[in-house]
Amino acid sequence: MAARRYPFDAGAAVAALRRSDPELARAIDTFGPFAMRRRAMRTPFEALLRAIVYQQLSGRAAGAIHARVLALFEDGRPTARVLAEMSDEALRATGLSRAKTAAARDLAEKTVARIVPGGRALRDMSDDEIVARLVQVRGVGRWTVEMLLMSHLARPDVLPATDLGIRRGFARIQGLEELPEPADLLAHGERWRPWRTVASWYLWRAADLTAGIPED
């Protein structure tokens, strides 16, 4: 599905982050305007199924398995009720591991039971409510939900503090020799509210930068 821009004022977000954090401001100078792209989402079930398939795999391998999973459904559009009726053998034949097959089945069952909300209900929930609800699904942890909040729901104030890239980027812009603990990163990130998603994008960019962030 096509990527879309975020629905908030990115310019205002970047300006606020500049004022709140001089080190992050240097990263902003290095990487320019905020350019994260959001993914369109038909249903939370579909987005989470994709997340489960992609866990701990390279993009190419995960993409091939995901394509085979989608091919099990009419028009390539997965639904919880159809998946719940599939055999483990059919799911495993796509390349899913036993653990991911169990996670996909649990996702389907919890979607049918409305533990996993529909898209409209999800958009009306707070970030914390969404995390609490979705981590009940087997194989779906807080990080996975945070990625959904950021990339699908376009929530502006998410900081995935356990993410290795986020921690590496923070260490780089702060000139730290060791990776920060998630609790310390969250404490520092309080100054980035309500734009921690935007700050996270710059941390990811910093983690990818081999030359480092220029000093004053």
Residue 49 token pair: 């199924």
Which neighbouring-strand residues pair with 3?
39
CB contact at 8 A, 91 and 101? yes
156 upstream amide cis, omega within 30 of 0 = no
Polymer length in residues for the chain = 216
b/e burial code for range 94-109 (CB count within 10 A of at least 16 → b): bbbeeebbbbbbbbbb
Our measurement of the distance from residue 146's CA atom to the centroid of its chain's CA atoms, rounded to an integer in Å, reads 5
**Among residues 20, 18, 29, which one has the least CA distance to residue 213?**
29
For the annotated catalytic residues, the residue numbers are 163
Residue pair 93/100 in contact (Cβ under 8 Å)? The answer is: no
Question: Tokens 């962030």 label which residue?
Answer: 213
